[in-house]
Structure 1
């Protein structure tokens, strides 16, 4: 009865695998014939059966049993099938490049078939021509990606925003787990939201406050931005797209604003770029990867310096409107080929593919202090009574011998919980520590804060945030030899602002933890 007991103990409430016929009678019999498990086959991932039995839903290791009945899969010619659904930005541009590279790495021949503008199929064959996998892409939008995942019509959702509370609640109510649970959500790559205009527009920069006022209809004429006396035409991605939703969430919602009623909406980045590029009075938000022929406006402000969405500024999150590309996984096992592909996505070679595809990778880089003169110059310019010369000198003295990692940590609004990109950063840094990349080196977690309140209190809060991040990273680095790494903490509070504190967004940007290394 060992196999039966193990099967019952290992029973997991997983979703049914898309593409597998349901309610098919099977009998799983142990090789010695002592144990039988009968029921309806719910899924098979190439290694494990999921069967609805009188004991409930059981997951049984296929190596310990033989399958009999009309619902049994063909073990000899098993084909792993994964269905991806969601944002075309990810499915049409980035994923094909990653699948091609994964195929080369694994020795598979990859064939691409475009079934329709909204559906792509990649088939993976071994060298002898044996079909081993099918990756199916349904290219709709972020909302549809989440809907398909929750309806069990997709294995993986490709999204340009995080799951919202109603989607998380629906997943829990359906017994599908928490969509924000560790392992179920990953940041695949980074992009950025950028304000853009037509190349003929004379305006070169805009503050976040001005951008929010334009998108909400409070500023309606270019004169207010230093441009011509002409009405402003607001353009955005469609409200059902992840970028359309992220534009509102990041720029307008922090201060309780909403989009102006006459904003022109576009179904995708190509249509957006084409419309804005030919309209001299247009302005809108799009992504760095789909800028097209439009002209990017630098983001500026009285308390910071002008920033464009360069690769380094996006990776460090110094550029404020970072737009991560997410993949959401189901609360069940993927086929072995799918798990291998998910593992490959974390590999340094995959990060190089991401960079070459026009997105921002997550491989940590080290920045010399002499390449950060604008940040330190701004810290001096913004220093006041509470942050004086002595504290600035201490900051230079501590950080001067170190290099800054491009890994920055920020928190969800009103919370001590790391935001989605920072949780991904914690995993990336922990993995590098496990691989020994920082053995015999110092890692200093440095906390910064906004300027709302006394400087001493802000410094204490920033230090607690640095402690929180250090704990998250070391907890994730399960196999790292932490005795070989010098882990330190420091904080400088409000001494190096990246934005003004007069908006909720600015205060959140300034509350961060950086990692410096020697």
Structure 2
């Protein structure tokens, strides 16, 4: 039971309390999950998740769903309370500050924010266009307003975005000051598609889960690497414009049925519903060596003087003995602090290990870095990040690893770049720890 008092909101356990008056809840009243949702996908996803939860657990939990942007949620609080807010992208620094001012605390903290799925922004142009890719540097320039010199600067380009993405895109480019001078906002897919058709120089950015009458482009860089948004590259965050879809909840203790729903969301049944809704789930799936030929070829092609042949041979031999799992862990620049999706991957991996999914397997956590700075220092930092992931995983496991599961680390530094290092987004894609497995020996 939650009460609004002069001292603020107070949550009480209903069990054991006696209440008199017409407004008191009855014993037969079912708890109601109040969810604010931004975007079409959430309106389809949340009811499907709740229905699956009811079917799996037999829990009686009703749903009150409303459409709301993050501004609506913060402006209407506390007059319109909520139990969950589903956002199609992370909160910006401005939104987090507003949430604190409203008395909601840090919604993006580990205890308040839960990664539900993964999505990505994909550049699109009008159907029938001949081009297949766009320099990622040009998108950075238009999103941040930062000047871009050289061949990638190109000519004039109008950037079109859906309103559900904005108006604040600083969550996408936290390293850059934002300028929306060249950004044109659209209310829906139809308006965006019409604008792209009317202007051959126009480029749109849409969530990967959205399908429309447009052509999707790959991202390219001056070093020759390209990246396409696919379920696999989004799941691994190898695609530079990948981002998490979040569930945020207020700081008070939820009803036990709601707490059970939040726990259920971390399981495989919920991830199946996410996948059916068109988003990318967090489940770890195998990626065999045959599917990594392009990565290995890029490692050879991009190797500089500081990445010797014997290191590439060691990389190839290690890849040949293992199968990559899509769980990938990423960090802030120059640190071993895990990102929010990576913390979710840790919890899911720990649960999978406890459930016996890696029975009889050796798990190898392999660190990689971007290419800035000396190769030896990058390899050391990559190794430290791999060890940090191992420590966080052991902590999530309660300090005990099952006797039939092995866990080790390795590092190859800058030896296998996924994107060019000329933009912060490319650098983030390259800073990672991958998970590889093989049968125990």
| TM-score under structure 2 length normalisation | 0.88
Which residues in structure 2 correspond to 1:155-170 (within 5 Å)? 155-169=83-97
Alignment of 1:31-110 (within 5 A): 42-43=10-11, 48-49=13-14, 62=15, 65-70=16-21, 73-107=24-58
Q: Deviations over 1:377-406 (max 9, x none)?
A: 000001121102111001112221101110
Note the C-alpha offset of 1:183. Answer: 3.0
The verdict on how the C-alpha distance between 1:347 and 1:273 changes in structure 2, with shifts beyond 3 A counting, is farther
Instruction: Summarize deviations over 1:109-130 as a string: whole Å, max 9, x none.
Output: xxxxxxxxxxxxxxxxxxxxxx
Output the CA distance in 1 between the equivalents of 2:93 and 2:8.
34
Partners of 1:163 and 1:458 in 2: how far apart? 30
* CA distance 1:218–1:492, shift in 2 (3 Å): closer
Provide the C-alpha distance between the structure 2 equivalents of 1:216 and 1:181, rounded to a whole number of angstroms: 26
Which runs of 5 or more structure 1 residues have no equivalent in the other structure?
1-15, 25-38, 50-61, 109-131
Greater displacement, 145-154 / 70-79: 145-154
Q: Secondary structure at the match of 2:61?
A: strand
Whether the 8 Å CA contact 1:189–1:360 is kept in 2: the answer is: yes
Inter-partner Cα distance in structure 2 for 1:41 and 1:213: 44
* Aligned counterpart for 1:355 among listed residues 258, 267, 275: 275
Residue range with higher mean Cα deviation, 503-512 or 159-168: 159-168
Unaligned runs of 5+ in 2: none
2:165 is the counterpart of 1:245: no
Structure-2 change in CA distance of 1:493 and 1:414 (3 Å) = closer
Deviates more, 1:96-105 or 1:146-155: 146-155
Question: Structure 1, residues 69-128: CA drift from partner, whole Å, max 9, x if none?
Answer: 3277344212212211141244322212222323333458xxxxxxxxxxxxxxxxxxxx
2:160 aligned partner: 235
Matched, 1:196 2:124: yes
8 Å CA contact retained: 2:90, 2:245:
no
Question: What does residue 211 of structure 1 align with?
Answer: 139
Structure 1 pair 210–175 and aligned structure 2 pair: CA distance change class (3 A): closer
Q: CA RMSD in A?
A: 3.1
1:376 corresponds to: 296
Which residue of structure 1 aligns with residue 428 of structure 2? Answer: 508
Task: Work out the number of aligned pairs and report it.
Answer: 436
Q: CA separation in 2, counterparts of 1:147 and 1:169? A: 13
Q: State the Cα distance separating 1:231 from its structure 2 match.
A: 5.3
- Between the aligned partners of 1:157 and 1:508, the Cα distance in structure 2 is 27
1:336 shift after superposition: 2.7
Which is higher, the Rg of structure 1 or of structure 2? 1
> 1-side partners of 2:78 and 2:38: how far apart?
16
Among 191, 195, 210, the alignment partner of 1:290 is 210
TM-score (norm 1): 0.76
The yes-or-no answer on 1:418 pairing with 2:338 is yes
Q: Which has the higher contact order (CA 8 A, sep 6+)?
A: 2
